[in-house]
């Protein structure tokens, strides 16, 4: 009985470590930050994409304006051709001015959104590091508990084998039915397996049992030990 109860306690401890609860709480927090990150990046992506398009267009217009300036400076073309070049240069500069204005607007919109993304990542870094630590600690603790369970089960097997066959069979049936252990002690008139009080007649029958006999708990079916 004691061996089975210890096995149950240690097995339960494996899945109820404080570190497991701490990890679960931390993962909720990290999932919340990840959700915030995805939402912030979703707002950032279209702005960044448009900024990159506008920036490339500004660069193209700057190069075209520079080429036109150079052509005009060295041109020996007639007045009509020069007028056309000057007209195109004026148009390109107008387009460039509008493009640079839009580029600046997008940059001013982009910077705080990028800052928000970096802020969320910084906030998540300590939690991510702590998560890795907790996973390692849990693995080490559970490995230690597994070793303890192996030892407990080995000792339990020896005790189980030492029981008389008939009593061993009764114990196994009771344990299958009740779980945790197949026997319980009577403490102040109560079965300490199911925690229920024995009826007066059952309690009298229990007290009158010979030392080498065991009655079943009327409620949970465990063998009642004196």
pLDDT of residue 77: 72
Number of CB atoms found within 10 A of residue 184's CB: 24
What does the block give as tokens for 74? Answer: 């060295």
Q: Number of C-alpha atoms within 13 angstroms, CB side, residue 140? A: 7
Same domain, 91 and 193: no
Question: Residue 197 forms beta bridges with which residues?
Answer: 190
Helix, strand, coil in percent for the chain, rounding step 5: 80, 5, 15
Cα torsion 129, 130, 132, 136: sign: positive
Same domain, 146 and 175: no
pLDDT of residue 81: 85
pLDDT of residue 210: 84
pTM value > 0.85: no
Same domain, 157 and 172: no
pLDDT of residue 82: 85
Residue stretches of the chain with pLDDT short of 50: none
Residue 179 parent element (H or E): none
Same domain, 175 and 129: no
pLDDT of residue 224: 95
Same domain, 146 and 157: yes
Please give the radius of gyration of the chain, using alpha carbons only, rounded to the nearest integer: 40
Same domain, 128 and 95: yes
pLDDT of residue 209: 87
Same domain, 110 and 129: yes
Same domain, 50 and 151: yes
Q: pLDDT digit string (tens) for 74-112?
A: 877 788 888 898 999 999 999 999 999 999 999 999 999
**Cβ pair 72, 59 in contact under 8 A:** no
Closest by CA to 163, choosing from 175, 147, 177, is 175
Domain boundaries, position 188: 165-225
Domain CATH code at residue 151: 1.10.287.1490
Same domain, 69 and 127: yes
Number of domains in the chain: 2
């Amino acid at each position: 009985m004691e061996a089975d109860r210890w096995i149950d306690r240690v097995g339960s401890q494996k899945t109820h470590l404080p570190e497991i609860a701490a990890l679960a709480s931390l993962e909720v927090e990290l999932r919340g930050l990840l959700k915030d990150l995805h939402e912030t990046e979703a707002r950032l992506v279209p702005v960044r994409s448009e900024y990159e398009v506008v920036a490339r267009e500004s660069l193209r217009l700057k190069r075209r304006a520079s080429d036109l300036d150079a052509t005009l400076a060295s041109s020996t073309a007639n007045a009509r051709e020069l007028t056309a070049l000057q007209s195109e240069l004026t148009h390109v500069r107008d387009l460039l001015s509008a493009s640079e204005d839009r580029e600046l607007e997008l940059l001013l919109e982009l910077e705080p959104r990028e800052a928000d993304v970096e802020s969320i990542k910084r906030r998540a870094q300590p939690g991510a590091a702590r998560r890795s630590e907790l996973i390692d600690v849990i693995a080490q603790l559970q490995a230690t508990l597994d070793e303890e369970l192996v030892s407990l089960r080995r000792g339990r097997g020896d005790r189980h084998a030492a029981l008389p066959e008939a009593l061993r069979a009764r114990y196994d049936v009771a344990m299958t039915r009740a779980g945790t252990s197949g026997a319980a002690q009577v403490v102040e008139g109560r079965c300490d397996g199911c925690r229920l009080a024995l009826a007066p007649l059952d309690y009298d029958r229990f007290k009158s049992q010979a030392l080498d006999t065991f009655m079943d708990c009327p409620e949970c079916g465990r063998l009642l030990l004196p």
